[in-house]
Amino acid sequence: MSRLGNLGARLYRGEVGYDFVGKRKIWYGISILITITAIVGLAVRGLNMGIEFSGGAVFNTPPTSVSATQAQRTAEDTSGHAAVVQKLGNKTLRVQVSELTTEQSRKTQEALAKKLDVPVNKINTDIVGPSWGDQIAKKAWTGLGIFMILVVIYLAIAFEWRMAVAALVALIHDLTITVGVYALVGFEVTPGTVIGLLTILGYSLYDTVVVFDGLKESSKDITKQTRFTYSEIANRSLNGTLVRSINTTVVALLPVAGLLFIGGGFLGAGMLNDISLALFVGLAAGAYSSIFIATPLVADLKERDPQMKALTKRVRARRAADAAKAEAGDASANAAGEDEDVQDAAAGVVGQRGEDAGRSRGRGGRPSGKRR
């Protein structure tokens, strides 16, 4: 068995473990700090919405030697709006300009054709109206809301309402961080981004449900024992699934990292950034929230239950009694050891005296060998 497998087995059996639940205030503080940073970034910079949401025009050029910077300058000077230019693998350019009217789109198309020295009909133009983008945005928010409601209902039925609340908080946490990173990085938000967000929410739920399922099994008849509190059982369940969560997250992140950093960075496939950034940030945030947010939050909510409070008191009372017995046993053992030391010392003194007396008698009764 590998070292990682051996560690997983020891974590599952409870032989080793890390106190995630006991140090939950630290994780809460880190999450609050990250969330505040994401919200500030979203408020200050805002989201770079694609034309699918804001409306505009997309111009696809034939293969050209004109640089992306030159094409961007031409589009912005003609349209009066900011342009985003992506250089594709076959030396073609994709020029995107938001909030363009039909007349502005035609003028921009003609200016690009003149700059590239190609006929106007060689510049493929797709115009997206803002009303269509509004419909896409509304449908995306509606789908996200329905998804959240169904998740809460399912978890409340399959587990309990506290776990449903914790899972919902973890999902909102993951969404906020992912959207905040999009705002800070400035990546364009497209329908691919929405698909990536929904995907990572499902993945985040998978990790959370795995931990909750183990916790549900471990906490059966919990009030009939006095060895562990609910928080301690939750921590044991979390440690039992820790290695599996790490393994699945790493395996999922590797191809997404290749898609983001190699495909989107080195190869210049900018359209891959839409979905790959959402997947990369969301997968990492989902793994973090399932370990450091969801389970500790369930323990917090559960410990407020009167039965769990009573259990905690019984566990502490038993541990105090066991500690007192152990202390009394140690005191008795120490006292017995001291008595044995005293007896040994006394026996040594008596023996020494008897030996000295025998020696004295021997010296006094032995004839000197001289005759008088």
Integer Cα distance of 154 and 261 in angstroms: 36
Taking residues 178-193, what's their average pLDDT? 83
Q: Are 248 and 207 in contact (CB under 8 A)?
A: yes
At residue 35, the 3 state secondary structure works out as helix
Q: 15-72 pLDDT, tens per residue?
A: 666 788 888 899 999 999 999 999 998 888 888 777 777 778 888 888 888 888 888 8
Integer Cα distance of 182 and 47 in angstroms: 7
Taking residues 174-178, what's their average pLDDT? 89
pLDDT for residue 12: 53
Q: 139-156 pLDDT, tens per residue?
A: 878 888 888 888 889 888
What the block records as the tokens of 85 is 């230019």
- Report the range of poorest mean pLDDT among 194-203, 248-257, 338-347, 356-365: 356-365
Q: 266-283 pLDDT, tens per residue?
A: 555 555 667 788 888 888
pLDDT for residue 39: 92
pLDDT for residue 371: 43
Residue 304 carries which side chain, given as an amino acid letter?
A: R
Is residue 79 very low, low, confident or very high in pLDDT (cuts 50, 70, 90)? Answer: confident
Residue with the two structure tokens 């200050």: 44
Q: 225-277 pLDDT, tens per residue?
A: 888 889 888 888 888 888 788 888 888 888 888 877 776 555 555 556 677 88
Kindly list the distances between the CA atom of residue 123 and the CA atoms of 55, 57, 59, 100, in Å, as whole numbers in the listed order: 19, 12, 6, 16
Which architecture does CATH list for 19-49+132-313?
Up-down Bundle (1.20)
pLDDT for residue 3: 60
- Report the range of poorest mean pLDDT among 203-217, 284-298, 299-313: 203-217
Is residue 325 very low, low, confident or very high in pLDDT (cuts 50, 70, 90)? Answer: confident
What pairing do the DSSP bridges indicate for beta strands 83-87 and 93-98? Answer: antiparallel
Q: In this model, does residue 105 exceed pLDDT 60?
A: yes
Is residue 333 very low, low, confident or very high in pLDDT (cuts 50, 70, 90)? Answer: low
Give all strands (DSSP E) within 154-203, no chain letters: 188-189
Residue with the two structure tokens 């106190």: 19
* 349 CB neighbour count, 10 Å cutoff: 10
Residue 160 sits at φ, ψ, to 5 deg, of -165, 170
pLDDT for residue 297: 92
Instruction: Give me the residues paired with residue 86 across strands.
Output: 94
Radius of gyration of the CA atoms of the chain, in A: 37
Give all strands (DSSP E) within the chain, no chain letters: 48-49, 56-60, 83-87, 93-98, 124-128, 188-189
* 190 CB neighbour count, 10 Å cutoff: 21
Taking residues 161-178, what's their average pLDDT? 90
Helix axes 130-158, 191-218, angle to 10 degrees: 10
Give the CATH class of 56-128. alpha beta
Is residue 368 very low, low, confident or very high in pLDDT (cuts 50, 70, 90)? Answer: very low
At residue 19, the 3 state secondary structure works out as coil
Q: Map out the domains of the chain as residue ranges.
A: 19-49+132-313, 56-128
At residue 101, the 3 state secondary structure works out as coil
Residue with the two structure tokens 């994780």: 27
